[in-house]
């Protein structure tokens, strides 16, 4: 793997509650410098990021980090993000509904955001399922539900749970997706803080990496990759 290939898999992330305009400017400038795929921010920072660099891809989190009981709140997040130019949405799925086996509700929740996104063009939707709370069979089912809802990616974590991305979970996802021809991709996120760990996630089957330690990863990649 080349350094530029790894960089193009990274969503450079700052979804901290206290992030300032200066923090978002720094994020965007770093993304441009290192050639990251996108920046990932809260909906309220999409306009700021777009004003800083109109050519930069912007992913916005929706229902973050713990999901909303009222689906309309997620739709408000999505509406704000799309209005100001987000090209990707990373939505938190309805874990409570999943745990109660309300699978139709889970899929419809995803479908609502996907429909909003697609009206604005080729906007990718990623669904965060928080794999640390799921069993192996849960993860397989999650892949089917995310694909059934029309999303483009299944994403491991918010980074706010007790654990983040795990290579074994990504391998389960990858196998389930390929075995069932689900046609979705995998984004690994949550506590990915080294080049070694990022590469481990890619080797396990992830095609996108979400992290806030992206610059550190690139500095390490200079010594590991060519």
Domains by residue range for the chain, with CATH:
3-224 (3.20.20.70)
- Which of 168, 164, 148, 144 is closest to 156 using CA atoms? 164
Query: Which tens digit of pLDDT belongs to each residue from 11-47?
Result: 999 999 999 999 999 999 999 999 999 999 999 999 9
- If you write DSSP's letter for every residue of 30-94 in order, what string do you get? HHHHHT-SEEEE-GGGHHHHHHH-TTS-EEEEESTTT--SSHHHHHHHHHHHHHTT-SEEEEEP-
Which positions are annotated as active-site residues?
A: 90, 155, 185
Q: How far apart are CA 89 and CA 61, in angstroms?
A: 6
Q: How far apart are CA 59 and CA 226, in angstroms?
A: 28
Q: Is the pLDDT of residue 83 over 80?
A: yes
The pLDDT of residue 214 is 98
Q: Which helix (H) or strand (E) holds 155?
A: strand 153-155
Q: How far apart are CA 112 and CA 68, in angstroms?
A: 14
How sure is the predictor about 207, in pLDDT bands with cuts at 50, 70 and 90? Answer: very high
Buried b (16+ CB within 10 A) or exposed e, 192-215: bebbebbbbbbebbbebbbbbbbb
Answer for the pair 88, 126: CB distance below 8 angstroms, yes or no: yes
Judged on CB neighbours under 10 Å (0-12, 13-18, 19+), 148 is middle
Residue 165 CA to its chain's centroid (Å):
11
What the block records as the tokens of 219 is 């500095």
The pLDDT of residue 61 is 98
Q: Could you tell me the pTM of the whole model?
A: 0.97
How sure is the predictor about 68, in pLDDT bands with cuts at 50, 70 and 90? Answer: confident
Query: Which tens digit of pLDDT belongs to each residue from 151-194?
Result: 999 999 999 999 999 999 999 999 999 999 999 999 999 999 99
Query: Which tens digit of pLDDT belongs to each residue from 96-142?
Result: 999 999 999 999 999 999 999 999 999 999 999 999 999 999 999 99
Q: Is the N-terminal amide bond of 65 cis, ω within 30° of 0?
A: yes
The pLDDT of residue 70 is 82
Q: Is the pLDDT of residue 226 over 80?
A: no
The pLDDT of residue 220 is 97
Residues composing the chain: 226
Q: Is the pLDDT of residue 69 over 80?
A: no
């Amino acid at each position: 793997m080349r350094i530029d290939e790894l960089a193009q898999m990274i969503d450079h992330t700052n979804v901290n509650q206290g992030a300032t305009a200066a923090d978002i400017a720094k994020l965007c400038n770093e993304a441009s410098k290192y050639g990251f795929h996108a920046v990932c921010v809260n909906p309220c920072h999409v306009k700021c990021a777009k004003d800083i660099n109109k050519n930069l891809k912007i992913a916005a989190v929706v229902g973050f980090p713990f999901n909303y009981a009222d689906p309309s709140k997620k739709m408000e997040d999505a509406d704000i993000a799309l209005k100001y130019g987000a090209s990707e949405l990373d939505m938190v799925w309805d874990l409570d509904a999943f745990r109660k086996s309300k699978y139709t509700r889970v899929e419809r929740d995803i479908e609502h955001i996907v429909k909003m996104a697609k009206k604005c063009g080729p906007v990718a939707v990623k669904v965060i399922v928080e794999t640390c709370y799921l069993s192996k069979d849960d993860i397989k089912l999650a892949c089917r539900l995310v694909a059934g809802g029309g999303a483009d990616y299944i994403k491991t974590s918010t980074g706010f749970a007790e654990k983040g991305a795990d290579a074994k979970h990504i391998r389960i996802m990858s196998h389930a997706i390929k075995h069932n021809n689900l046609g979705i991709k995998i984004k690994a996120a949550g506590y990915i803080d080294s080049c070694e760990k990022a590469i481990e996630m890619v080797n396990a089957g992830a095609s996108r990496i979400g992290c806030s330690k992206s610059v550190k990863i690139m500095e390490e990649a200079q010594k590991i990759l060519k």
